[in-house]
Amino acid sequence: MTSIKYRDEDLKLRDGTLLKSRIWLPQGEGPWPALLMRQPYGREIASTVTYAHPSWWASNGYLVVIQDVRGQGGSEGQFKGFSQETSDTSQTHVWVRSLPECNGLLGTYGFSYQGLTQLIAEEGTYPPDCIIPAMTGLSENEHWSCEGGAFWWHLGIGWGLQLAAQKAQREKNWEAWHEIRENLESKKYLFNGHGLLKKNDPEGMAYKWLNLSSSKNPQWKTYEPLNSWLKKPLLLIGGWWDPHLRGILDIFEKSTKAGGNPKLIIGPATHLQWWEGAQRTQLNFFDSHLKEKNKEIPFPQINLWNLTRNSWELSDQNKTPTWNLCSEGLASISHSEGGLATHSVSKVDCEVNLVHDPWRPVPAIGGHLSDTPGEANRFNIDTRSDVAVFTTPPMSKDLRIEGIPTLYLETKCDRESFDMFVALSIIPSEIKNTATQLSTGVLRISNFDKDIKTCREIRLQPILATFKEGDRLRISISGSGWPAIGVNPGQCQYLCAGPSPHCLVTTISLLLSNSKLKFESLISS
């Protein structure tokens, strides 16, 4: 690998803009199949935060092209985000296939922004021979910026400031760059982020999405891949703790409906920390579709990591029990009082009151949206008096749960705006003082008529886990999840942001008579 060579080369687009690419060449005589990644963070880094260096892919017989998208890295033009990529992607694919070292076969790879650039192109564009999008989605609302109507505060602000810092670097605005960096390192961005985005990148995606999330009539954009692309060999990579997982599931369904045969892998991964073996899996997929011998390597349709067994399993969406929430009213003051029952519970409208105090908002830990993503022990959080906790009896036998946890219950509130942050955990039978959080979800309610009883539905992050005999399942509900989402001030005239003097104490009443926890299918039929 040490002798792998590379060169930089420009592509001149139809409008005269030059896009800069770095091209790594295998040893020996070509031509070779090409792998393409189009990304906004500089071709030198080549997404090595999650991917093997391009020289490794080249050492395995691929011509590797890493391109700076328009307005980023060494490429000319103004960076305008996703809206610019349809035309630029189409022109880049034609160019890569025309390179003298390319044998005409093309595969694409990349995660996040680089995942989306693989999926959108101009009508009539010839598709890649195979595609591996990871950790990405098509909806700017549901897959890129918000969950349950709540803006991804820590993630959205942090990503927006990263792009704003790159903009400042291109413009040699060192004062802005250092201001952004200092705010990120000190975590002041959690309070100053909105103002920093407005000041340094008011036309950026993150700032626009943040403003749209609090708009009464937001006009969100969803991107649509060409059907001919969705029918090509497609390997979709997701992580249980990645915020874009719902986007990956959406692409899988779209490909299936278009007549494709997509493959799906969901592993024990956050957005940036993946599992051992992810690189080899992708290489095997490319080899099976791009190498001349076209050696078929079997890939299961859906391959999932079991979070509690720590092993790979095939999808098996068997029927899961439905649980009802029950309490005598003390579920928020006693973490052992509230229950989850599979049998019918009393129809008396039991009420559990949660008091959200914005001075000490309930923190979000672990999961897919917080600043500490992944697995987490939330036992101490569950003992707070502003968290309502409901737990099953010990399991009488092993229970495998695969799907999307969905909580249904009625609520009323004394404010016109409030949040519900929900966590699902496993209480292992053999370990004391442990509540291992497996999934979280959020619902933001705005412009609400105070003290009116209303049915709510909160969808959590998908999971696969096996509860052993003796383990218990727990649902925890709070009025905040800081800093995964901004603190809801309880009044719609103010932005849901960091704790501020505009934030009001909010009482949320959970009405349990018609409550239930169900598990929806991971993939819609």
**pLDDT tens, 244-283?**
999 999 999 999 999 999 999 999 999 999 999 999 999 9
- The mean per-residue pLDDT over the stretch 58-87 comes to 97
Say how far apart CA 463 and CA 424 lie, in whole Å. Answer: 10
Predicted TM-score (pTM) of the model is: 0.96
For residue 448, the model assigns a pLDDT of 77
Burial of 185 (0-12, 13-18, 19+ CB in 10 A): exposed
The answer to whether residue 294 scores a pLDDT higher than 60 is: no
The amino acid at residue 132 is I
The amino acid at residue 281 is T
Contact between 372 and 363 under an 8 Å Cβ cutoff? The reply is no
Share of the chain above pLDDT 90, in %: 90
Handedness of CA 140, 141, 142, 145 (dihedral sign): positive
The answer to whether residue 131 scores a pLDDT higher than 60 is: yes
Residues contacting residue 421 through CB under 8 Å, at least 6 positions apart: 362, 364, 440, 441, 442, 477, 478, 479, 480, 481, 484, 485
Report residue 344's pLDDT band, with 50, 70 and 90 as the boundaries. Answer: low
The answer to whether residue 421 scores a pLDDT higher than 50 is: yes
Contact between 499 and 358 under an 8 Å Cβ cutoff? The reply is yes
Say how far apart CA 496 and CA 351 lie, in whole Å. Answer: 27
For residue 525, the model assigns a pLDDT of 62
Contact between 180 and 165 under an 8 Å Cβ cutoff? The reply is yes
Report residue 296's pLDDT band, with 50, 70 and 90 as the boundaries. Answer: low
Could you give the domains of the chain?
A: 5-138+225-299 (3.40.50.1820), 146-213 (no CATH), 324-520 (2.60.120.260)
Reduce the secondary structure of 416-456 to three states and give it as a string.
CCEEEEEEEEEECCCCCCCCEEEEEEEEEECCCCCCCCEEE
- The mean per-residue pLDDT over the stretch 468-497 comes to 96
Q: Which of 99-113, 142-156, 169-183, 283-297 has the lowest mean pLDDT?
A: 283-297
Say how far apart CA 454 and CA 471 lie, in whole Å. Answer: 33
For residue 343, the model assigns a pLDDT of 77
Residues contacting residue 57 through CB under 8 Å, at least 6 positions apart: 24, 35, 64, 283
Quick count: other Cβ atoms within 10 Å of Cβ 468? 16
Cα 351–Cα 357–Cα 359 angle in degrees, nearest 5: 170
The answer to whether residue 347 scores a pLDDT higher than 60 is: no
The answer to whether residue 360 scores a pLDDT higher than 70 is: yes
Contact between 104 and 292 under an 8 Å Cβ cutoff? The reply is no
Report residue 89's pLDDT band, with 50, 70 and 90 as the boundaries. Answer: very high
Residue with tokens 């189409």: 90
Report residue 447's pLDDT band, with 50, 70 and 90 as the boundaries. Answer: confident
My answer on whether omega of the bond before 31 falls inside 30° of 0, hence cis, is yes
- The mean per-residue pLDDT over the stretch 414-435 comes to 95
Reduce the secondary structure of 87-146 to three states and give it as a string.
HHHHHHHHHHHHCCCEEEEEEEEEECHHHHCCCCCCCCCCCCCEEEEECCCCECCCCCCE
For residue 297, the model assigns a pLDDT of 73
Burial of 208 (0-12, 13-18, 19+ CB in 10 A): middle
Detail the DSSP E strand segments found in 135-188: 146-147, 150-151
What three-state secondary structure class fits 375?
Answer: coil
For residue 1, the model assigns a pLDDT of 43
For residue 216, the model assigns a pLDDT of 84
CA 465: distance to chain centroid? 19
Looking at per-residue pLDDT, the higher value among 505 and 292 belongs to: 505
The answer to whether residue 146 scores a pLDDT higher than 90 is: yes
Looking at every residue in the chain, the average pLDDT score rounds to: 95
Report residue 346's pLDDT band, with 50, 70 and 90 as the boundaries. Answer: low
- The mean per-residue pLDDT over the stretch 424-442 comes to 96
Tokens coding 191: 């309070």
The answer to whether residue 348 scores a pLDDT higher than 70 is: no
**pLDDT tens, 10-32?**
999 999 999 999 999 999 998 99
Tokens coding 324: 């009802």
Question: No. of H helices and E strands in the chain?
Answer: 11, 24
Contact between 76 and 17 under an 8 Å Cβ cutoff? The reply is yes
